[in-house]
Structure 1
Amino acid sequence: MIPAALSLPEILSCVFNLLGQDRKTLRSAACVNRIWFHEATRLLWAKSDLKALMAIEPSSRRTIYASKICHFTIHFGFDHVDTDLDLDFQLLRVLHFTDFTLPQDINLRPYIQPTLEKLHLRDWPPITFLDGLNKYCPRLREFTQMSPKSNRPGLVEFFAMNKTLRRVQLMLAPLDEHEIFAATAALSNITSLEDLTIYGEISLNTMVQLQEWQFESVRNLRIHVGVPALRMLPTMFGAMIRLSLELSIDSDVHSLDALVGLPLEFLQLHVAVGIRLSPQELLVLPKNLKSLMISPSPIKQRERMPKWEISNDQFKQIFANLSKLESLLIWFALDIPSPASALEDLGRSCSKLENIRLYCPIDITAWWDIPKPLFPRLKFAWVSSVSDRNLLGEVNETTAQLMAEILDRHAPNLDRFVALDSYTFRPSVGDQLSQLTMRAHGRIKETGQTKHAKEESRSLTI
């Protein structure tokens, strides 16, 4: 009676729901009987990788576990790996190749399964594998290839023949203009495509040629173009409802007015060296913007940081309507009269901010009398330095502790605070007050985490 009862679907469901993802207990459960073994190993092997599978001995047992894998990560960076596996991954849905270069003798046939839904690669796969995806993977919905590769045989043919993909993330660099045009035009043939991400700038000349192709099904778009190509986007992508845009500004004659009306949520502005970006141009930013990054192009970490001059009024006007902003990264040295007032205005307008990088000195003591937290959701902040214009005391740990406490009050969820006039994290280059304030804030967060952990443990024993 007991073995039969243990095999009832109702009991199995309850038991394994309680076990969840506790791998040690699941291994014990696999020893109860054959049915429990099947259910436990299904959970244990649903998400796995090549190294774990190759560790199974004897090798004949790998067939059992391979048939249960749904999410598989393949990395050939360890020794003695058989790249010609004769296994049946019959439940495979998600496949990740993490190597930048696939072994030449790799056998990819076992991974061409009718259940496959998502494929993520760094290297470009062989043509035979791409043909197999189109012929035998009717559920393939997502294709990602994010590493720069100059030689990609079968790229155009694969996208031109595909009828199932809904999401594509593709790195086009360092292909030439002709290859970029051919690849992008081929993507327009995928009538099911809804989410398209293209990394690598598409030139104006290529965009002009692409106007004959329409991406009628694409709703979510991420693309890198120059300012002159902005006006072409609504025509080419008429169905888009969400836009992530990398925009290159490489001429003094430019206008961001074409941003008006675009469903823009994420914007990266790459400003070429010597080109001036007027703050007034940013007044056209849409109110639905969630992320804004402004950076020099290219960013030269070892050279002096370029300046961006802006007044407090201009800063306030730009962010007054961006209430949905979650991330603000400005990779210029901000030349602004009152940085503390600017951040105060920013906090009042953009209360959802979680990530800030502003290279300007901040007088945190200026927020002493402000009752409500300015940044209730902020998790990461990077400024150039901490200053004490009110001269509350000497540069010592007491002053730094006070600043850290004010900062913690106005950003209670801040996990990491950095005050360095540098692109890279080198604490030794910071001034004394900034270093002390960073340490003091770190101690406050550590104390808070310890207190929270103790309270959590106490609540479990009550």
Structure 2
Amino acid sequence: MPPPPAGGWPVLVPEILLHIFNHLHGQGPALLAAIRVNRHWFSCGTDVLWRRPEWEALVALPPDRRQFYAHKIEHLSFNGDEQSSYHERFKDLAFTNLKSISLDSYRPGPDGYRLEQYLSPSLESFALFGANITESVLLQLQTTCWRLRAILIDNPGPNITPSSFSDCIRACEHLQDVQFMYGMDRLLTDELLIHLAQRPKLTRLRVGKPWSDELMQRISEQVSTPFPALRSLEVSVASQAVPTLIGLIDSVTELTVSVLDSEADVIEALSSMTELVSLTVSFATSRQLSRKDILAVKRLSKLKVLATEALDVQVPAIHEGFNDADFDDVVSSLPALRQLQLTIQCDLSVAAIMSLSKHCPLVERLELVPVLDVQTLQAHAGNSVILPELRELSLGGFGPPGEDNERATPEHLVSLLRAWFPRLAQLDTLNGDEYSEELCDAFETTISQRVCS
């Protein structure tokens, strides 16, 4: 470390020091040198260094020094059984400035494990991805964590009751982000969901339990303005209930909906939500989509994200045919598109890629089912850039028609892909044929070499 200047090291107010240390946070050696200047700089610098530490850093400290640094921690995350076994070591620590805690699945026994040390008044975000928690945890959440803004709970075990869970959620008055996706069905009563529909600050809601027609009808009848601030929703419903759902979520701009059956078309109904910027439709049953249903997407001119997914079922097909001209008609109406995941069996060629290049040049992620005819695409584009912002590409496969000995080598195709998509960082194939897998391996090798160089 350099010697101090003639007048000594300057004394800076904490706000200025913190601003400097925040700027140095990504520059490890410089920040470490700065915090060694004096005790004042050390205190401010470690406030920055210990905001988001790995749990190993806390474990590595002598037990009598852990509390000093625990006070500085704002974000803490544990993943899996091995990491969660350290909760017992931390049980007597006070995390007085902790703002967010993320706890991965861990079930040491029927009595659960210690979480109370993390539930301080400063806590704003609580995420639990599975554990046998007790009602004492819920009680402390609702009585102590009065600043709580975000809550995610999955698979909480059998020890808590629907009534105690409902009491906890109702008592957390400032919730804006609520996520209950997995292993939560018995706790998510209709009464609790109706309560959430009345929350004035709720902006994000993800619920794994399907919404029944009866529930949505009750919300419509009992809540004058349901979900008044909601912007993002993930939900499962029957296809014929989609119009009812739409009537409840006027303010939503990001929608993920899992369709539980194939009784009715849903995308055409959803196209009435013209303020949507993100739409993901997942199909839980095998089905055929109508061409008219897909063409309705073009009404959603503000979309940045459009995705169709098949949940553990056969990829849906369009039984009336959906061709390059139809695809061009749709994407020409979606100039803001950044992500397109069209997991649908249909007759698309390289013309679809060229349509995206023309109408949606800022696409960053693309997934299509058809195989890419490389020779034809090269004939259209040569070595010119097609999608300059594309980072992730997943296609049915790669390669021109014809015998294997006519195909370009994977290495040659990688060079073409890098010319067409200069920012591409991830390449996947859906069909898994040998040639396409070789190409993906060659591309991954190229990316690894670029990172290491």
Which bracket does the TM-score occupy, shorter chain normalised?
A: 0.7 to 0.9
Change in 2 beyond 3 A, CA 1:93/1:408: same
How far did residue 277 of structure 1 move?
0.7
- Matched residue, 1:182: 191
Match for residue 88 of structure 1 among 83, 94, 97? 94
Q: Do 2:240 and 2:264's aligned partners in 1 also have CA atoms closer than 8 Å?
A: no
| TM-score, length basis structure 1 | 0.80
- Matched residue, 1:101: 107
**Aligned partners of 1:140 and 1:37: how far apart in 2?**
31
How far did residue 180 of structure 1 move?
4.1
- Matched residue, 1:233: 245
Match for residue 268 of structure 2 among 231, 253, 257? 257
- Matched residue, 1:168: 178
Q: How does 1:125-144 map to 2 (within 5 A)?
A: 125-144=133-152
Q: Do 1:403 and 1:437's aligned partners in 2 also have CA atoms closer than 8 Å?
A: yes
Change in 2 beyond 3 A, CA 1:439/1:19: closer
Amino acid at match of 1:204: D
Match for residue 304 of structure 2 among 274, 281, 290? 290
Q: How many residues align?
A: 432
Amino acid at match of 1:64: F
SS at match of 2:302: coil
Q: Does 1:72 align with 2:83?
A: no
**Aligned partners of 2:153 and 2:434: how far apart in 1?**
39
Q: Does 1:413 align with 2:413?
A: no
- Matched residue, 1:221: 233
Deviations 1:388-439 (A, max 9, x none): 2599983353xx55544433322121123334514xxxxxx423xx355445
Q: How does 1:302-341 map to 2 (within 5 A)?
A: 307-308=317-318, 309-332=321-344, 334-336=345-347, 339-341=349-351
**Aligned partners of 1:101 and 1:292: how far apart in 2?**
37
**CA RMSD, 1 decimal:** 3.5
Match for residue 243 of structure 1 among 243, 249, 254? 254
Change in 2 beyond 3 A, CA 1:51/1:268: same
SS at match of 2:233: strand
How far did residue 147 of structure 1 move?
4.7
- Matched residue, 1:280: 292
- Matched residue, 1:266: 278
Q: How does 1:3-18 map to 2 (within 5 A)?
A: 5-6=8-9, 8-9=11-12, 12=17, 16=21
Change in 2 beyond 3 A, CA 1:189/1:110: farther
Q: Do 2:87 and 2:114's aligned partners in 1 also have CA atoms closer than 8 Å?
A: no
How far did residue 56 of structure 1 move?
1.4
Q: Does 1:157 align with 2:167?
A: yes
**Aligned partners of 1:18 and 1:220: how far apart in 2?**
33
Q: Do 2:237 and 2:260's aligned partners in 1 also have CA atoms closer than 8 Å?
A: no
Match for residue 382 of structure 1 among 381, 394, 403? 394
Deviations 1:224-258 (A, max 9, x none): 323322222344334x1413121416234435332
Q: Does 1:114 align with 2:124?
A: no
Q: Do 1:352 and 1:376's aligned partners in 2 also have CA atoms closer than 8 Å?
A: yes
- Matched residue, 1:459: none
SS at match of 2:185: coil
Match for residue 195 of structure 1 among 189, 196, 204? 204
| TM-score, length basis structure 2 | 0.81
Change in 2 beyond 3 A, CA 1:174/1:140: closer
How far did residue 173 of structure 1 move?
4.5
Q: Do 1:118 and 1:142's aligned partners in 2 also have CA atoms closer than 8 Å?
A: yes
**Aligned partners of 2:259 and 2:159: how far apart in 1?**
26
Change in 2 beyond 3 A, CA 1:440/1:181: same
**Aligned partners of 2:401 and 2:198: how far apart in 1?**
61
Q: Do 2:396 and 2:430's aligned partners in 1 also have CA atoms closer than 8 Å?
A: yes
**Aligned partners of 1:151 and 1:232: how far apart in 2?**
35
Amino acid at match of 1:319: V
Q: Do 1:421 and 1:430's aligned partners in 2 also have CA atoms closer than 8 Å?
A: no
Change in 2 beyond 3 A, CA 1:151/1:216: farther
**Aligned partners of 2:136 and 2:419: how far apart in 1?**
59
**Aligned partners of 1:218 and 1:18: how far apart in 2?**
35
Change in 2 beyond 3 A, CA 1:200/1:375: farther
Change in 2 beyond 3 A, CA 1:172/1:231: farther
Change in 2 beyond 3 A, CA 1:386/1:243: closer
How far did residue 351 of structure 1 move?
1.9
Where structure 1 has 5 or more consecutive residues not aligned to the other structure, the ranges are 423-428, 454-462
- Matched residue, 1:426: none
Deviations 1:128-163 (A, max 9, x none): 222222222232111122457676432211122221
Q: Does 1:34 align with 2:39?
A: yes
Identity %: 21
SS at match of 1:77: helix
Change in 2 beyond 3 A, CA 1:268/1:20: closer
Q: Do 2:216 and 2:245's aligned partners in 1 also have CA atoms closer than 8 Å?
A: no
Amino acid at match of 1:342: A
Deviations 1:89-128 (A, max 9, x none): 2211112222343763634333232221111111364322
Change in 2 beyond 3 A, CA 1:266/1:100: farther
SS at match of 2:371: strand
SS at match of 1:6: coil
Amino acid at match of 1:46: R
- Matched residue, 1:460: none
**Aligned partners of 2:157 and 2:112: how far apart in 1?**
19
How far did residue 352 of structure 1 move?
2.2
Amino acid at match of 1:267: L
SS at match of 2:256: strand
